[in-house]
Structures are given as C-alpha cells and as structure tokens.
Structure 1
C-alpha cells in the first residue's frame, strides 16, 4: 500500500466553489495597484472558521514575485490583483486561530476558501471531538498478542484478523489522479525563472507528491525547505516524500520538525502512521488520537479506529468508528471498519448491517463487498442482507471474478437446492474470468463430489492445487478421494502435503500474531451523578 494523502487530506486549505459572488466592496481592502494592474488577473476568496462562518479582519498575504497583503472585509472576503501565471502562496492569519496556507500553481478560476481553526490550547482529551462525551478509555501500553485469547473458532478469529487488515488497507481508497503534463511544465518553468523561490519549489514538489514521483518531490522540496527556512508545511511534505521512498527515519525527522512549529491534525496523523511503520504502536495511537481531537475529520477518525482495531482494542475501535460514522454519515470505510469491529465482538448481524450500509454508500467500490463476503462465510449462520448486496455487486461488475465467486459461495452456504445450479454456473464463470482462481475450483470440486462424479472431482481438485499449491483443503479432500478409490500411495502423498501446509500456516499465524502488539486499555470510570 502506498498511503499518500496530499491535498485531499489537507482540509484546512481547500479550493472551493463559492456559493455566491464576492461583492465589489470586498475589493476595497486590496493593495494599491501598479500601472500594469489593469492587465493583471484577480485572485478572490473568503476566510471562514471551522463552522463555516466568515471571519472579518483576517490578514491575508499573497506570496509571489512581489508580496502583497490585504485584510478580509465584513463578509470574510479578500482579493488580490496578481501579475504572472503563478505559482502563488496565500496565507491567512488571525490572533487566536491557527494560520492556514494554500499554494496554487496558477490563478484559480473560482474563489478559494481558507479555513482557520482554533489555535490549540490546554484541553482535556476529546474536547474537540464533536461529541459531548469524550472517549471513556485510555491506551496505557502494549502487550504480546498471545497474552489474550480471541472468541469463537480459529477460523472466525482468522477472519477477524483478516477484516482488521482489510480495514487498515482502506487507506488506499484515498486515491490521487494522474499528473497533468501541461501543469508540470508550467510549474517547472516557474522554478526555472526563480530557482530559489520557496513558493515555486513548494508547488512543484507538491505536484510530484501528487503524482507519486517521490524522488523528484524530495529533491525539489529540499530546495523549498532551504528557501523557506524549514517552514512546517514543507517539512510535512518532505515527510510524505521520504515515506514514499521508504526512508522512515528521515520522514520521522521531518514530521517532528513540522510539529515543533505547528500543532496541526494532519501532522499528528502522519507522525502516528510513521510510528506504526517503525514498530511503535503506542506512540502511533496517541498521535492519531490527538489528530482526531484537533480535527474530527473522516480521515482522522478512520486512521485512529483502524489503529485500535489492528492492535485488538476491539471495543474501543468500534466506539471510534461509530462516532466517526455519526459525524461523517457518507463514509463507507468508517462503516466497514465499524462492521469489522462488530464481527470481532461476535455481533455478527450488527456487523452485517454496517457492512451492508457501507456497500450501499459506495456501490461501485469492491472493498465493502469483499468484507461482507468474508464475514458471511465465517459467521456461524448466514447473515441477513448479504445476498441482495452481492447480487448488486455482480450486476455492477460482471467481469469481476470476486463478484461471481462471493455470490456463488453465499448461495451454496444457504443450501437452497433451487439455487445450486446457479451457484455452479457462477463458479464456472469465475474460473473463466480468472483461470487461476483456486478457491473457485475447490468449490466446483465439492459440487462434483456431491454428484458422485469422481473423475471430474479429482480434476477440479488438481486444478485448485495447480492454481495455488498452498491450498491445504484441496490436498486434504484429494487425499480422502484417493483413499476411497483405492489409491493409497497418492493419498499418502496428498496427506503429507496437507499436513506440511497446515503446520507452516500455523507457524506463520503464530509469528504474525506475535508481531502484532496488543493495546492495554484502561477504562475511565464514569462519575456517579446521583
């Protein structure tokens, strides 16, 4: 996974379309124009607080070839007559608020919006979380995973672990678009015209970050850092670039410098992600909690909940995902995480409900369906609402082999003879779409076995093994079939392979569980209000 949120995550500085035209009176605050200003283009915008209320009297600075300064009017509006094609850096400052900075490669075609959040102050955890009740737990440390058992069967436990990893991998849903060659050339020309310009190098470096060109991003941002004397924004970007280059120590050094200069939520979140990557989950979860307290954004709640779930603080992860989903009801991945946590609590029907809701929110995304299929397959009984969602998945993505496979196995699990033929057809469709889909061959072999078609069953189990030699169940079933058909030598060989695979799998699972530290959670007592 290459989790690389850049501009999408920086919610305090966003380009936004204004819902009304900026009044002409707002232009009065701009700096005196030069004789060439008549030919200059205008940058307009508005400064608001975290609740969207306009902020008058904010100092707004435009950094370009010639720095300019303005103050917002009563409606929070500002404007500049800017010469040149960019890039431009715009900073808004107001006493009692955290400064907000936005770098744009060219003059925006629509007004921009800068959001100023409250400056950090001494607060108790949870004051800024958007809920009247702060979390009633504290992560006090870590212990070995093996010190605490799970619930249910080992298969259910493995599914819980798999769902936790699947949830964490949903960081990949923060997708970026490809680069615009014309924009890149424009930014490069700006750097060529002013090689030591902070704004020009920062804009080009962030473009490279956006396109995952981490080598060029790091090189260009280093120039910006020198020119800007280590501004926190460029240190944050350098941390992202170094993480992309898998240089975690350097990334941690850059984000530490950024945090010394500015107490911002996205800085804390990145610091937490880097702590997790370097094997320090205790520091990671504290940073992620701080990020959510400073800014209760969807991304911050998701990152915090995922960290708790990954390290088996299941009840607490569910609490954070639930609160995040209440704040951000359109977030599919928060509901996916919530459902995964509920599954780990053995609350299977509630888990299915949350996962179904996630798929309803993003019907074209495969991730919620995959989580739903895993949960349904491992729960003690078939889960409600699953078939309808998997039918939709197949309808929307008929060429996706996972869609046909998940629906087929869900139908087989429900044991309705009226749908068995359709399930078989779906499995056959799966292996046509993906000839290496081992699990589909295995299920087809089971169907053939029920029809007493020995030759076909052996062939399908062999196809499954050829597609995935580590599929232990296929070896086991083939061994049983060989024993029943009088082939003891072949049966012995398949049993030996099955036992070796299962032993290897058990050792790997044990190693993985030992490598994942479990959080020690202390519940905070609620005062008696009698």
Structure 2
C-alpha cells in the first residue's frame, strides 16, 4: 500500500509539472518550460504530449537537431496529428532535409488543408525539391485561406516564374505592398518582365533593385541585363561600379572585360583578362578570351604577354599558342622574338593541323622577315582551310605582288573585298557568342 500510494503521488506531481510547463510555454517562458519537460521526458520517453511539446520548444529556440527526434517520436505515437506533422516538416526544412519535409508536410496538408502556414511550408519544401508548379498550387491554397502577406506573394510569384507561368507571376507579385521598397521583389519583377520581353521595364526594375540594395548580385544582374541587349556603355558603368565595391568578385571583373571586348574596347579588356588569367593560370576560357582580344588589336598590349607563358604550359591548345605568337608579332619590330613566335606557331600546327589562324600567322611572320616566297604556302593553306578568310587573301595578295605574280595578286584583292563583310559578320557573331555565354551563366 505505501508503495502504491507513493507512485500515485509521483504521477500526480508529474501531471502538475506538465501543466506548469504548458503554462510556461504559453506565456513565452521557454527556458523554464524546456527545463521541466526535459526532466519529464527522461521519465516518460513514450509520452506524446511531452515529446511534442519539448520538440516544439527546441524548434522555437532554433535547436532543430534536438527537436527532430522528439517530433519524430511524437508523430510515431500519434500519426494523425496535423500540428506535430507540420512542426516536424518545418524542422526538416531548417535542417535541409527537403525530401523528408515534402513527405511530412504533404501528410499535414492533407489532414489540415486549411492551415496556411502548413501549405506555405509545403510550398517552400517543394521549391527546394525543384517542383515549382506544385509549389505554386500550395502557395495559392495558403493565399486562399488567409490574406497573403508579402513573403507569401513573393514565394508564390517565384514558384509561378520558375514553372514558366510569367504572366501569372507578374500579377501575383504586383499585389505585394512592398514591391516598390523590396530589392528582391524588384529583381524578380525584372526577371518576369525579361521573360515577357518587356525589356525596358525589366531594366528599370533591375536598376531599382540596385538603388534599394547595391549588393553584388543586384549590380551584376543589372549589368548583365544591359549586356544581354548590347547596351554596352551602361553595362560597363554597372560592372565598373561592381568591381569598385566588390573587388574580390571574379565574375564581376570577367563581365567588365567582356563588356569592353564586346564594345570594341580591346585595349581596356586585355589587362582585365590578363589579371584574371594571372589569378588562375590554367583557365583556358579566360586565356582564349585574352587571345581573341589581343588578336584584334593592331599593337601589342602589356596584358597580352600572359599568353606566351600560358601557351608554353598548355602545348595542346592551338588557338592560344597562335594568339600568343600573334601578340609577339604585334610588338614593335625591335622587340619581336620571331624565333619564339615561330616555335609557338609550329606548336599550334602540331596540336591542330586544321586551325587556319596558325598558318595565317605563320605567313605574317614570314612576311615580317621579308621572306615573301616562304609566306605563300602557309597563307594558301590558311585559305584552303577557310576560303572566306579575308585577311589571308589580303596577305596572299601582298605575297603575290612581291613575287611578281600581279594577276594573282589582283584576284586575291578581289576575294579580300568579297569576304571582308562576311569576316566582320563572323567577328560580330563571336562577340555575340561570348556575350551569350556570360549571360547564360547568370
């Protein structure tokens, strides 16, 4: 009898403690409630109320790793509890356990479809799992239950945007009260307008985002928008601003270099590409950009010297070896190392015997040595590989003229004139290719 009486008194005392913990939690005294519940959990590990309550407190305190096993236990004890499922799903989201979050929140939403917080979290979990169309439906359900706040409208709009429903995304986002004051909302509206082909509006929204929050991402996005539509001067201004304020941003510096390059400002682009190549000496894309840039300048640029070192270390890269040789040939005659240029061109031809620019530059080298006869063969080979090679036709005309073959020289001049416009078009296509590459990475 005494033992049974003691057990009864203990149970009654624990019930009072549980009630006190619940009261403390309701009043916001989480630490007090946590202390009581933790003690009770040790004595009653299979109690649904204790596990659920203590798990919820840990979640509110941000101790998600401690909250998860307690909420999982509570769900196991009572699988039909929508609130606990919702809490567990929210914790999984915080722990980046997105697949688990979708699974649990789907169950919670089925059990309690009119709970806007559950539907909203379900939408967030679906977004993390790259299911934007389903997420948009969840957000729409949340918005139908309760007047949506700005965060819900933004998430709903983003889900619609990611699922390709651009008009609907714009309509939803336009309802946000903070559209004019939120940089994130302005940036998303810019994305929406871009997809709707409202390019002027898109640019204005991106600019507004920068004014509200001059973050690296917002500056870069605005610059890319101008670059995308070949409005190079404002693009350069934004990227210059970005480089000044975010000097460690390599993508900003690369974008600035490409903007200068696409704007035919080759002398300004070369030092930027050289700086990037020096920071990553094995970056073949940047080396190629620097090579293209240097090949388009009539004179040598200090930045172009980086090509030689790169080419000597990457012997299988025919284009860069060719551009490196061309950069040597662009130097003043007293600074040219023709033996090194010849070595690089032979290296390029060995790496890729079908790259016409290597033969063209070899012909130029022979002509700079006044060996007009020897320049004929490489120039003829360059034209055989690329018949519309305007510059090669011009150089071949010079070779024919200096070797007394005047009729052939006149014929080559005619071909040079015929293909010169096509060569300009090819160059513009190259600019577009480089610009498109950068834009596609955004």
TM-score range, shorter chain: 0.5 to 0.7
Matches within 5 A, 1:346-495: 352-379=270-297, 381-387=299-305, 389-394=306-311, 397-414=314-331, 415-416=333-334, 419-451=337-369, 457-482=375-400, 494-495=412-413
How far residue 331 of structure 1 moved from its aligned partner, in angstroms, is: 0.9
Tell me the CA shift for residue 360 of structure 1: 4.0
Q: Deviations over 1:155-213 (max 9, x none)?
A: xxxxxxxxxxxxxxxxxxxxxxxxxxxx8xx89988998998876676566555xxxxx
Decide which moves more: 304-313 or 402-411: 304-313
For 1:62-83, what per-residue CA distance to the aligned partner results, in whole angstroms no more than 9, with x for missing partners? Answer: xxxxx9687866xxx5536125
Deviations 1:249-284 (A, max 9, x none): x44543553464474545543543554566543222
Does the CA-based 8 Å contact 1:199-1:224 persist in structure 2?
Answer: no
Picking from 225, 229, 236, the partner of 2:158 is 236
Q: Is the 8 A contact 1:201 1:223 kept in 2?
A: yes
**Alignment deviations for residues 318-357 of structure 1 (CA, whole Å, 9 cap, x no partner):** 4432332233221123223445666799987765554443
Distance 1:339 1:305 in 2: 12
Give the Cα–Cα distance (whole angstroms) in 1 for the partners of residues 311 and 361 of structure 2.
18
* Match of residue 204, structure 2, among 286, 294, 298: 286
- Please report how far the alpha carbon of residue 404 of structure 1 lies from its aligned counterpart in structure 2 after TM superposition: 2.0
Q: Which of 308, 327, 330 matches 2:248?
A: 330
Gaps of 5+ in 1: 1-23, 42-66, 92-100, 108-182, 209-219, 243-249, 514-530
| Contact 2:324/2:341, CA 8 A, preserved across alignment | yes
The CA deviation at 1:403 is 3.1
- Cα gap change, 1:374 to 1:206, in 2 (>3 Å): same
Superposition deviation, residue 235 in structure 1: 3.7
Is the CA contact (8 Å cut-off) linking 2:101 and 2:122 kept in structure 1? yes
Task: Write the deviation string for residues 12-38 of structure 1: whole angstroms up to 9, x where unpaired.
Answer: xxxxxxxxxxxx979959x99895699
**Aligned residue number for residue 68 of structure 2:** 82
Report which of the two has the higher share of helix: 2
Aligned residues: 355
TM-score (norm 2): 0.60
Structure 2 unpaired stretches of 5+? 1-29, 76-84, 111-118, 142-151, 432-442
- Tell whether the 8 Å contact from 1:292 to 1:300 is kept in structure 2 after alignment: yes
| Structure 2 CA distance for aligned equivalents of residues 207 and 469 of structure 1 | 51
CA distance in 2: counterparts of 1:26 and 1:400, whole angstroms: 69
Over residues 89-146 of structure 1, what are the superposed CA-to-partner deviations in whole Å (9 max), with x where a residue is unaligned? 659xxxxxxxxx9676528xxxxxxxxxxxxxxxxxxxxxxxxxxxxxxxxxxxxxxx
Task: Measure the CA separation in 2 of the matches of 1:350 and 1:303.
Answer: 22
Q: What's the counterpart of residue 299 of structure 1?
A: 217
Select between 324-333 and 77-86 the one with higher mean Cα deviation.
77-86
Q: 2:134 aligns with which of 210, 213, 223?
A: 223
Query: TM-score normalized by structure 1?
Result: 0.51
Shift of 1:443: 0.7
DSSP 3-state at the match of 2:140: coil
Tell me the SS of whatever aligns to 1:330: coil
Higher relative contact order (CA 8 A, sep 6+): 1
1:106 and 2:106 matched? no
- Higher alpha-carbon Rg: 2
Deviations 1:496-528 (A, max 9, x none): 443332244567889999xxxxxxxxxxxxxxx
- Taking a change above 3 Å as real, the CA distance of residues 386 and 506 of structure 1, as seen in their structure-2 partners, is closer
